[in-house]
Amino acid sequence: DSDYSEWIYSNFWTWLFGKLSPIASYKAWQEKGRQVKKNEKAIALYMPVTFKKKNNETEQDTESNDDEVYTKIILRNNWFCLDQTEGEEYIPEIKIPSWNAEKAMAVLDIVEIHFDSVNGNCMGFAKNNQIAINPLNPLKHKTRFHEMAHILLGHTKDTYLSENADLPKSIKEVEAEGVAFLMLNLLNLDGKKESRGYIQGWLQGNPISEESAKRIFTVTDKLFKAGQ
């Protein structure tokens, strides 16, 4: 299970070396415009590798010419974390004169923590009353709205709207991104097109329910006022 493997790796690496950062292969970092620093050692991870083995024709099986596929778990030194790379400075986060994220988080008792996911494709996450934003995220403000909304909507554990914690993932994502989309429009920020596409992808042509719409508008009003 990839999530379980990531959890084991994340906890072990954090225990051994401290805070974790996103990881990627050497080639993947180059594609992101970053270069692995000189003398940095690759991180070894056990990973599934698929092989093909030719089937030997027998009297019992003379019609099958397909290759037999099997998987082995192999330790490979393929990975480097963000802190092991260098390149152009990240795109600076947009400052929003009419809304302050730090003030909103203080009012709403939300804490932003270090992004310690090894999944470089993850742009951010929320758990309990904590959020984290991937430092490589080009739309940090949009993701921050989204993750804060998850908490305020009761999608994470130990929240005052905990009855919403068991909603299907598709509904949670639509509601959180719905809040983000409204915040982007209220503050006239970039990311509206991406936000709209994200919502449509999770809706799969279905309408937003009246209950979800009410929660989206209620949380947007709360989030917007908290940062003013």
pLDDT for position 49: 78
CA distance 55 to 221: 63
Q: What is the C-alpha to C-alpha distance for residues 18 and 182, in angstroms, rounded to an integer?
A: 37
In 3D space, the residue among 86, 70, 96, 103 whose CA is nearest the CA of residue 34 turns out to be 86
| pTM given for the model | 0.63
**Of the candidates 93, 208, 97, which has an alpha carbon nearest to the alpha carbon of residue 144?**
93
Per-residue pLDDT of 140-186, as tens digits, reads 999 999 999 999 999 986 544 456 667 899 999 999 999 999 999 99
CB 200 within 8 A of CB 162: no
Q: What does the pLDDT look like over 182-216, one tens digit per residue?
A: 999 999 999 999 999 999 999 998 999 999 999 99
